[in-house]
Structure 1
C-alpha cells in the first residue's frame, strides 16, 4: 500500500490505498518510514496519494494503537532529516495524523479541491510533538490555534493565503516535479547545505 517510484535522482512515494482514502495503518506507517529512509540519497522526494484524497489520517481500525504511536513522529522526523528537497503533492484532502508528513516537507503543493484539517481537539488526542511548531512556522500562531483548537477545515485557497501550502495546481505531482528541477540538477550536498541555512 506504499509504492515507491524512482526516476533517476527523484523518488516518488505514493500512499496507495484509495478505496480507504489512504487511511494509514501501523503497517503502512512502518513501510513509509522505511521508504523515506530508502530515499535518503535522492535529490528530491515527492510524497503523494492515489485517488482523490491524500490521506484521511489514521485508519479507524488501528486508531487505538496509533493515537499514541511513535511511528507518526518517526515518519515526520525521517522526512525532515532528508538532505534532498522534499515536496508534499497533495492530490486531495490532508487530514489528521497525515498532516505531520506534509508539515515536515520543504514544500507543499495542493489540488484546488484539497482541504486541510487536524481534528485533535474533537478526537481527544494530542498532535504529533513536532507538528505545532512546524504549523506555527508555516501558517502563524493564529492559524495554528484555529486548526488545532477550533478544528477549522481550511480550503486550499485559505491554506495558500496563510502559507500552509506553497502552490495550488491541477496536477500537484507535475507541479512538484517542476519545482524539483533545480534541485535535481544540483549536488545533494549543496541541497542539504542550503536547507541547513533555512532552519
Structure 2
C-alpha cells in the first residue's frame, strides 16, 4: 500500500548499498502504525532479509517523534496485538544489524520495536511512555520478555506497571539508549558513522555473531549451527583479507565469502 491517507503515508524502504533505511511517515499522528503498516513493515523486513548485500538496517521516524505505537482506535477485534508481536519478532530476527534512530517520543509498542533493534541512538528530545495498564491492554509475551531481558525486571515494572515516563537521560541510564547525542544533528551524524562502521565489517562474522548473540540471550543457541558458521568464517577469504589488512595497516576489503 503506497497511497496517501489523512493520517499520512505508509512506511518507506530505501536501500543504499549495504545500508537500508525504513522511515515511518505519519508525523501528524506521531508516526503511529496502522494495521496496514504492520503488514507493510513485515514485507519490507522480508525484502531486506532477502538482499544479501544489506548489512545494516536503520529504523527512523519523520517529524518530532519516533513512533507512538499502534493506533489505539484499532485495538480490539483485529488481532492487532498478535500482528504487532510478529512484527517485533521479525525485527529482532532481522538478518542485518539494526539501528533505531530515536529523534523524539517513543510510546507504547514502539518502545518494544526499539528494544528489538540491536542499537538505539537518541537525542535530548527523547522520552518513552507505555500506557498499556491505563488502557486495559496486557502487553504481549515477546514484548514482556524483551523488557525484562534488556532492562531488568525492576525497570520493566516501572515502565509497564507504573507507567513511568522516562526522559532521554533516564533512557540512557537504564540501558534503553546505547548512546545519547547532544542534538539532532549529532544524532544523524552518529547514525551515519555507526551504520558506516557496521557496513564495513566482515559480513560472515558480523551477521553470524548477531544471530548467535540473540540466540544466546534467548536461551536458544544451536550448537551445530554456530559450529557451522564458525567453520565457514574460519575458511573464508574475508578472514584472510582481514589478517592481511591488519598486517599492512590498511582498511580491509570484505566480500562476504
TM-score normalised by the chain length of structure 1: 0.93
Give distance in 2, aligned partners of 1:163 and 1:13: 24
Shift of 1:66: 5.6
- 1:177 corresponds, among 192, 195, 201, to 192
3-state SS, counterpart of residue 151 of structure 1: coil
TM-score normalised by the chain length of structure 2: 0.73
Q: Partner residue of 2:25?
A: 16
3-state SS, counterpart of residue 31 of structure 2: coil
- 1:3-48 Cα offsets, whole Å, 9 max, x none, are 1121111011010010111111100111111111111132000001
Give distance in 2, aligned partners of 1:65 and 1:27: 15
- 1:138 corresponds, among 150, 166, 173, to 150
The answer on 1:106 being equivalent to 2:118 is: yes
Structure 1 unmatched ranges of 5 or more: none
2:12–2:25 Cα contact (<8 Å) kept: yes
- 1:70 corresponds, among 82, 89, 114, to 82
Give distance in 1, aligned partners of 2:104 and 2:211: 30
Give distance in 2, aligned partners of 1:173 and 1:79: 21
2:81–2:140 Cα contact (<8 Å) kept: no
Q: What CA RMSD, in Å, does the superposition of the two structures yield over aligned residues?
A: 1.6
- 1:42-93 Cα offsets, whole Å, 9 max, x none, are 2000001000011111223322346743211111111111121101101111
3-state SS, counterpart of residue 164 of structure 1: coil
Give distance in 2, aligned partners of 1:137 and 1:167: 19
Structure 2 unmatched ranges of 5 or more: 1-9, 215-257
Q: Partner residue of 1:115?
A: 127
Give distance in 2, aligned partners of 1:182 and 1:51: 26
Higher relative contact order (CA 8 A, sep 6+): 1
Give distance in 1, aligned partners of 2:138 and 2:80: 8
Q: Partner residue of 1:82?
A: 94
Q: Partner residue of 2:171?
A: 159
